[in-house]
Amino acid sequence: MQILGSLASSFLNSGAEAAVLSGSRTSILKDQASDWDIYVYSSAPIDKRIRKDIYSALSLSSIVGMTFFEESDEAEDSHGNIYDIMFRSKEWTEWQVDDVYRRGNARIGYTTCILYNIAHSRIISSASGWFERIKEEISGRYPDKLRENIIRKNIDVIDGDYSSPFIRQLELAAERGDIVSQNHRMSAILASYFDVLFAYNRVYHPGEKRLIPYASSLCISLPYDMEKDIYSALNAIGSDRIVPAAAKLIEELHMLIDRNRD
Domains identified in the chain, total number: 2
Indicate whether 197 pLDDT > 70.
yes
pLDDT value of residue 184: 98
Residue-level pLDDT at 254? 97
Listed residues 108, 138, 168: the one ending a domain: 138
Looking at the fold, whether 132 and 153 belong to one and the same domain comes out as no
Per-residue pLDDT reduced to its tens digit, 135-153: 999 999 999 999 999 999 9
Q: Which domain holds residue 11?
A: 2-138
| Separation CA 181–CA 47 (nearest Å) | 41
pLDDT digits (tens, 9 = 90+) for 31-66: 666 789 999 999 999 999 999 999 999 999 999 999
**135 touches 94 (CB < 8 A):** no
Question: Could you read off the pLDDT of 200-238 as tens digits, one per residue?
Answer: 999 999 999 999 999 999 999 999 999 999 999 999 999
| Claim to verify: residue 101 and residue 79 sit in the same structural domain | yes
* Same domain flag for 160 and 77: no
**Measuring CA to CA, how many Å separate 32 from each of 23, 208, 242?**
11, 18, 36
pLDDT of residue 214: 96
**Average pLDDT for 115-130:** 96
CA distance 5 to 128: 17
At 10 the three-state DSSP class reads helix
